[in-house]
Amino acid sequence: MKTVIGALLNFQGVWDQYAPIMNQEPHNKPPLYPVLYIKPVNTWRKSGEPIMLPAGIQEIEIGATLGIVIGKTAVQIEEAAAFSYIQGYLIANDVTIAHEKILRPPIKQKCRDSFCPMSEMIIASDIKNPNNFNISVYINDELKLQNSTKNLVRPIAKLLADITKFMTLNEGDVVLVGTPENLPLARAGDKVSIDISCEGKSIGHLVNFVKQELVS
């Protein structure tokens, strides 16, 4: 794994929520290209490892999302060829501290240690319909969110094509397709489980517990 790149405003429900402010200052119009940010290596964790709740923060947003693992160098690719650049898929939790800004990525709220747990990858060829991933989030085994990649503003192929118009994606990079609206909240001690499936085939499970950061 090399670079993990997240996309904002890519679920229709989130786009609709923020549409009224897109035409206001200082932006004056909706973004023409994907709004991206990086989840650096300090955020990466595996399933089973704790998500650290920062001192002074009471709760975090659980950003369940699909990760696209790039299999070869992608530069200015066409939508029709996009899936040939995908090595596989994984489950990611794009953890965030609640914030108001959306059109400028809130790095301080998204890039804390442990704020991007990820599952193991499933090979792309095992997925028959990659535009229909169902996402489910459970907090303490209670279902809190369901959504689908059918609701993406930019579906997988278009997202990759649009990103590679202005930046190169390399083998091992991971693109997070975005998080849905109405994200569930988790507190210290909570168990967070994310399941993603495609037409009944699970791509795995991501389970992490939220642990309070100790004040030194």
pLDDT of residue 214: 79
Where are the strands (E) in the chain, listed by range?
A: 4-8, 35-38, 44-46, 51-53, 60-61, 64-70, 86-93, 116-118, 122-123, 133-139, 142-148, 174-176, 185-186, 191-198, 201-212
Q: Using one digit for the tens of pLDDT, what is the confidence trace for 116-170?
A: 999 999 998 888 788 899 999 999 999 999 999 999 999 999 999 999 999 999 9
pLDDT band at 197 (very low <50, low <70, confident <90, very high): very high
* pLDDT for the residue 103: 58
Average pLDDT, the chain: 93
Confidence category of residue 104, pLDDT binned at 50, 70, 90: low
pTM of whole model > 0.85?
yes
